[in-house]
Chain A
Amino acid sequence: MVTSNFDYFAPTSVDEATSLLSRYRGEAKVLAGGHSLIPMMKLRLAEPGVLVDIGGIDGLSYIKEEGGGVSIGSMTTYRELATSSVIQANYPLLADASARVADLQVRNRGTIGGSLAHSDPAGDIPAVILAIGGSVVARTRRSSRDINIDRFQVDLLTTALRDNEIITEIKLPALAAGTGTAYSKFHQPASHYAITGVAAVVTVSGGTCTDARVAVTGAGDKATRARRTERILKGKELTQAVIRRAASRAAAEVEDSLNEDIHASAEYRAHLTQVHAGYAIEQAAAAAG
């Protein structure tokens, strides 16, 4: 459990960090909270030649209400998300999911930006942000761009982020009145990662569901919107029967890429995804009033 050799940089500004990434492009990895990267390095599954530790950069940890939505600095920890009154009030599912990531030590160190950039197929945060919507702000030395969250997760452990970019911020939109949210997770007994996790954001107006975003993590190779589930919900009254039917399609998008391991077969994962989609949608609908 000893990592390979690497060079370590601790920049104090985003400019300095992005310069380092440009200079060591292809070789360098960004170190945020370190709770995904360092275990992989200790197992020598990742052997980056250069580590750029962005933990010493001031001003990347914040939760700000602006323009009706909320902007979150990329180095904001799970613990900060879980205990923030702004997050609790605006996106209860993000606070709840953050409170249930791994254990206290991980929550004290792990960050929202790190989780998104790592894109673990069983990470909680990617599904939650997908269900909320919004964008990821990625900066290079020279430029900055907003990446729509729907285009951010690309593949297993792969995002739209280029290797000279750093996530500096996550922008979340204001949720419409009458919106309820929930995250329901079945955890793997050893790692406590999600075997499946379903995030639901549901808007109800006049007894009818006017908008729904449902995202699934853990089941497939990346966090994915359950669009068929969303289509079933939209325009309907959220009765038990409708929710059950919608939930039954929650694994449809990941059907061809269902994970299978010693903790859960593909069949069981698909089943759990349906079960937890039902729980999440029901809770979100109840919260929507």
Chain B
Amino acid sequence: MAVATFGESVKRTEDPRLITGRGKYVDDVRLSGMAHIAFVRSQYGHARIKSIDTSAAVDSPGVIAVFTGADLQEELGGLPVGWMLPDLKQPAHPPLAFETVRYLGDAVAVVVADTAYQANDAAALVNVDYEILPAIVNAEDATKDGAPLLHEEAPNNIGFDWEVGGGDYGEAIKDPDVIVVKERIVNQRLIPNSMETRGVVADYDAGKGNITLYTSTQIPHLVKLLFSLVTGWPEQKVRVIAPDVGGGFGSKLYLYAEEVVAGIVARHVQRPVKWIESRSEAYVSTAHGRDHICDVEIAGKQDGEIVGIKVDLYANLGAYISTFAPLIPTYLFGLMLGGVYKMPNIECKVHGVFTNTTPVDAYRGAGRPEAAYLVERMVSRFAQEIGRDPIVVRRKNMLQAHKNGREVTTGVMYDSGDYKGNLNKALEIFDYRQFRADQRAARREGKLLGVGIAAYIEICGMAPSAVASSLGAGAGLWESSNVRLHPTGKATIYIGTSPHGQGHETTMAQLVSSELGIPVEDIEVLHGDTDMGQFGTGTFGSRSIAVGGAALFNSLQKVKAKTHRLASHLLEADPKFVTFNNGTFAVEDIADKTLSIQEVAGQAYAAANLPPGMEPGLEEVSFFDPQNFAWPNGTHLCVVEVDQDTGKVEVQRYVAVDDFGNVLNPMIVDGMTHGGVAQGIGQALSEAAVYTDDGQLLSGSLMDYALPSADMFPMMELDRTVSPSPSNPIGVKGAGEAGTIAASPAVMNAVIDAIAHLGVKHMDMPATSEKVWRAMQDAKEARRAERAAARSQRS
């Protein structure tokens, strides 16, 4: 491998390790004397714990100890809330429940044994005597008088009421020319399925009183901080290591009960302990995503001008407030309700509601997919209502292109974008006019084709810390980097964000390589160990490159400045005349006077001939806190065919034009888009978490939770526009979530388009075969009834 450049599709350097089974995940951590733990979990949605009999478990082979919630109550503390809202209710969230269980899977006891099998066998022998309480799973119903109450401190189960807006929606719709279209839209609950489930190994050093947690997380530094705050364990004695992490999609972005319990239990039994989550366990104990019930209306005029949107949202929080749960359905949702449109009037109310379900928090896109889905579904719904083409309506309302900041109705400042440019490029690739002709022809042959469009914008690059703090963030959201050049000129860098599939080891090395002219294979990228480097916030919200990459870029500039000064000194030239290209310092117009950066690094350590005042060594640190967020945007188009007989939906074509700002590694960005679109198609067509009214999970395994599979996707046609972001020095925006945000509205708009001629106007996700078939049946039935009524009127 040679020196890499910015914009080159460098192959992922981590892949040979990861795809040949030589990665090191939490389950690969095997420590001397390590014991295993298993959790006893509630089988009910809501119940009072009358008593727990652990005697049979204690006597079971290999068992070292059994702890109930009551046993550890004092040491475990309560799980934290990382984002404040005005009047947010924060009921205590014990890592092990000791009085009441509030959702299926709520942990009540933990068993420690020599092997994982013994721990699981013994866990099955723990006898919990429950008094079953009435449960509630629907967020809207939970707010009604008389609904089962989860927490005394949250009357009507309301965790928070929040609102945002701009303009005056109420005034705008008084105009007699304004048409208001209303829908009730449900954004169904999703269950994250990272390839590696969660897991933790806790290693207690009795001599020093230190604890090391190996955990499958997106936020090792925050886990360290939060673990320390919750348990009172001195922060300098806590080390958190995120080894290779096999996916997360947001679900590994919190401090979890199991991490706290493992640490405390390790101290009790004075042995390292390991817990690896099973997939069935993950379905109830790892945070879920989405779950919105929304009354929405969009208002506009017959000529296609949209004047506003109004949203009243019940956001399901689950049984407790997970670490970032207050942020997701509020700022990350409400601020995005203008989409890429002028949308002069916005009114949004959000009710966060407790229910007897697994806590809900960020899931790929986190708030923005829910917002984009509402906006894009309703813009198409409005176009259908006024009988105009959805493309025409979008174009009429789109914001003009801008390069440096545009304030929108919700008060935020979009950074840069050419929204119509995205649309035009996508239409050009797609050949929209031809499709409409094909669609008509196909319909005559009994084939139902539909096209769906989604023009989205989303908020990334979190975040300007002062802004985030004023909105409720419990921690700064900057990133850090440390660049160390060794005496041989090789480099080791430490970054504050650690990957769970994104390819940081490649892209960060690529950035170093392109700036310093060092070959990629000479650069070691370290991450995910809190003892190795200074604080970092974590990998989420498509922020690693926009914030962490920018921090790294700034460290590299410092390295360049120091090496430039040293090289000039060594070359005995005025720095003004010393150039630096491709790893080589040269003096202008003097061919033989050069030094490689490797030679300069060696001299920095030899320290035999440093300029006056220069310290030896070559290591630089930077902290980057952005001035604004970054705002990726784009237009996606999707074609589906609906089977007349069965209602089955097949995605036939998918075109995506995205503006991710400058793109460091196009191959990796394409891969993220593919994955994101796949996930969005999954939500649109098949995925759904389904609870019974008493809180049992019917979609409790991969046998019933329908993840999308490869046969559901066409080859995706990807292209880009580039509006560099002014929010960071490298002009990048972030690409991890965009596909998910755009795909579900694009697919659903296509499904509706395919059957709109029958009279279908809306359908909630997922568009399962039965739902589509039923919508067609109902629409045909309604038509028949209409015709019959018309006939009887005539006669």
Which A residues lie at the B interface, using CB under 8 A? 1-2, 4-5, 39, 43-44, 186, 188-191, 261-265, 268, 271-272, 275
Q: For B704, give the chain A residue with the smallest CB separation.
A: A190
B774 close to A5 (CB less than 8 A): no
Cα(A268)–Cα(B645), bound, Å: 11
Cα(A244)–Cα(B116), bound, Å: 56
B280 close to A191 (CB less than 8 A): no
Within 8 Å of chain A (Cβ to Cβ): is B686? yes
Q: Which residues of A contact B12 (CB under 8 A)?
A: none
A275 close to B646 (CB less than 8 A): yes
Q: For B771, give the chain A residue with the smallest CB separation.
A: A268
- Cβ contacts A to B, 12 pairs, < 8 Å: A1-B281, A43-B280, A43-B701, A186-B648, A186-B769, A189-B706, A190-B706, A191-B703, A262-B704, A265-B770, A268-B770, A275-B646
Cα(A244)–Cα(B502), bound, Å: 53
Q: For B115, give the chain A residue with the smallest CB separation.
A: A2
Q: A43-B280, A268-B770, A275-B646 are in contact. Are A4 and B699 (CB under 8 A)?
A: no
B773 close to A263 (CB less than 8 A): no
Cα(A192)–Cα(B161), bound, Å: 42
Q: Which residues of B contact A2 (CB under 8 A)?
A: 116-117, 120-121, 278
A189 close to B120 (CB less than 8 A): no
B703 CB contact (under 8 Å) in A186, A190, A265, A268: A190
B770 close to A5 (CB less than 8 A): no
A1 CB contact (under 8 Å) in B280, B770, B774: B280
A190 close to B707 (CB less than 8 A): yes
Residues B87-128 near A (CB distance < 8 A)? 116-117, 120-121, 124
A191 close to B704 (CB less than 8 A): yes
Cα(A264)–Cα(B706), bound, Å: 13
**Separation in Å of the B592 CB from the closest CB of chain A?**
63
Residues B658-713 near A (CB distance < 8 A)? 685-686, 688, 690, 698-699, 701-707
Q: Which residues of B contact A1 (CB under 8 A)?
A: 278-281
Residues B738-781 near A (CB distance < 8 A)? 768-770, 773-774
Residues B619-652 near A (CB distance < 8 A)? 645-646, 648
Q: Which residues of A contact B117 (CB under 8 A)?
A: 2
Cα(A140)–Cα(B690), bound, Å: 45
B686 close to A264 (CB less than 8 A): no
Q: Which residues of A contact B278 (CB under 8 A)?
A: 1-2
Q: Which residues of B contact A43 (CB under 8 A)?
A: 280, 701
Cα(A43)–Cα(B702), bound, Å: 13
A262 close to B646 (CB less than 8 A): no
Q: Which residues of B contact A268 (CB under 8 A)?
A: 769-770, 773-774
Cα(A4)–Cα(B280), bound, Å: 16
Q: Which residues of A contact B704 (CB under 8 A)?
A: 190-191, 261-263
Per CB-CB distance, the 4 closest pairs between chain A and chain B, nearest first, are A189-B706, A1-B278, A190-B706, A2-B120
B705 close to A190 (CB less than 8 A): yes
Counting chain B residues whose Cβ lies within 8 A of the other chain, the interface size class is: 20 to 34
Q: Which residues of A contact B706 (CB under 8 A)?
A: 188-190, 263
Cα(A96)–Cα(B121), bound, Å: 42
Q: For A278, give the chain B residue with the smallest CB separation.
A: B645
Q: For A103, give the chain B residue with the smallest CB separation.
A: B709
Q: Which residues of B contact A263 (CB under 8 A)?
A: 704, 706, 768, 770
Residues B407-461 near A (CB distance < 8 A)? none
**Separation in Å of the B37 CB from the closest CB of chain A?**
13
Among B278, B280, B704: residue with most chain A CB under 10 A: B704
Q: Chain B's interface: helix, strand, loop or mixed, by majority? A: loop
Q: Chain A's interface: helix, strand, loop or mixed, by majority? A: loop
How many pairs of residues, A versus B, come closer than 8 Å at their CB atoms?
56
Cα(A6)–Cα(B521), bound, Å: 51
Q: Which residues of A contact B773 (CB under 8 A)?
A: 268, 271
B686 close to A189 (CB less than 8 A): yes
**Separation in Å of the B763 CB from the closest CB of chain A?**
15
Q: For A189, give the chain B residue with the smallest CB separation.
A: B706
**Separation in Å of the A123 CB from the closest CB of chain B?**
14
Cα(A39)–Cα(B278), bound, Å: 13
Cα(A44)–Cα(B281), bound, Å: 14
Cα(A272)–Cα(B698), bound, Å: 22
A186 close to B699 (CB less than 8 A): no
Among B707, B769, B770: residue with most chain A CB under 10 A: B770
Q: Which residues of B contact A275 (CB under 8 A)?
A: 645-646
Q: Which residues of B contact A265 (CB under 8 A)?
A: 770
A190 close to B121 (CB less than 8 A): no
B702 close to A190 (CB less than 8 A): yes
**Separation in Å of the A49 CB from the closest CB of chain B?**
14
Q: Which residues of A contact B648 (CB under 8 A)?
A: 186
Given A190-B686, A272-B646, output 4 extra A-B contacts at Cβ < 8 Å: A5-B121, A189-B768, A190-B699, A261-B704
Cα(A272)–Cα(B768), bound, Å: 14
Interface string of B273-303 (1 = CB under 8 A from A): 0000011110000000000000000000000
Cα(A263)–Cα(B769), bound, Å: 9
**Separation in Å of the A255 CB from the closest CB of chain B?**
18
Cα(A31)–Cα(B686), bound, Å: 33
**Separation in Å of the B518 CB from the closest CB of chain A?**
43
Q: For B61, give the chain A residue with the smallest CB separation.
A: A5
A186 close to B768 (CB less than 8 A): no
Cα(A186)–Cα(B773), bound, Å: 14
Cα(A111)–Cα(B8), bound, Å: 49
**Separation in Å of the B775 CB from the closest CB of chain A?**
12
Cα(A191)–Cα(B124), bound, Å: 27
A262 close to B686 (CB less than 8 A): no
Q: Which residues of B contact A39 (CB under 8 A)?
A: 703
Cα(A196)–Cα(B768), bound, Å: 15
A44 close to B124 (CB less than 8 A): yes
**Separation in Å of the A18 CB from the closest CB of chain B?**
30
**Separation in Å of the B11 CB from the closest CB of chain A?**
27
Cα(A262)–Cα(B701), bound, Å: 13
Q: Which residues of A contact B699 (CB under 8 A)?
A: 190, 262
Interface string of B566-585 (1 = CB under 8 A from A): 00000000000000000000
**Separation in Å of the B610 CB from the closest CB of chain A?**
61
Q: A265-B770, A268-B770, A268-B773 are in contact. Are A186 and B646 (CB under 8 A)?
A: yes
Q: Which residues of A contact B698 (CB under 8 A)?
A: 261-262
Cα(A139)–Cα(B465), bound, Å: 74
Q: Which residues of B contact A5 (CB under 8 A)?
A: 121
**Separation in Å of the B689 CB from the closest CB of chain A?**
10
Cα(A268)–Cα(B698), bound, Å: 19
Q: Which residues of B contact A272 (CB under 8 A)?
A: 646
Q: Which residues of B contact A271 (CB under 8 A)?
A: 773
Q: Which residues of B contact A4 (CB under 8 A)?
A: 121, 124
Q: A190-B702, A190-B703 are in contact. Are A262 and B690 (CB under 8 A)?
A: yes
Residues B502-552 near A (CB distance < 8 A)? none
**Separation in Å of the A87 CB from the closest CB of chain B?**
24
**Separation in Å of the A181 CB from the closest CB of chain B?**
21
Cα(A265)–Cα(B773), bound, Å: 12
Q: Which residues of B contact A44 (CB under 8 A)?
A: 124
Q: For A264, give the chain B residue with the smallest CB separation.
A: B770
Q: Which residues of A contact B121 (CB under 8 A)?
A: 2, 4-5
**Separation in Å of the B765 CB from the closest CB of chain A?**
13
Q: Which residues of A contact B280 (CB under 8 A)?
A: 1, 43
Cα(A227)–Cα(B335), bound, Å: 61
**Separation in Å of the B585 CB from the closest CB of chain A?**
56
Q: Which residues of A contact B120 (CB under 8 A)?
A: 2
**Separation in Å of the A126 CB from the closest CB of chain B?**
19
Q: For B281, give the chain A residue with the smallest CB separation.
A: A1
**Separation in Å of the B158 CB from the closest CB of chain A?**
29
Q: Which residues of A contact B646 (CB under 8 A)?
A: 186, 272, 275
Q: Which residues of A contact B124 (CB under 8 A)?
A: 4, 44
Cα(A236)–Cα(B714), bound, Å: 43
Cα(A191)–Cα(B120), bound, Å: 26
Cα(A11)–Cα(B229), bound, Å: 57
**Separation in Å of the B86 CB from the closest CB of chain A?**
38
Q: Which residues of A contact B769 (CB under 8 A)?
A: 186, 268
**Separation in Å of the B789 CB from the closest CB of chain A?**
25
Q: Which residues of A contact B645 (CB under 8 A)?
A: 275
Cα(A5)–Cα(B118), bound, Å: 10
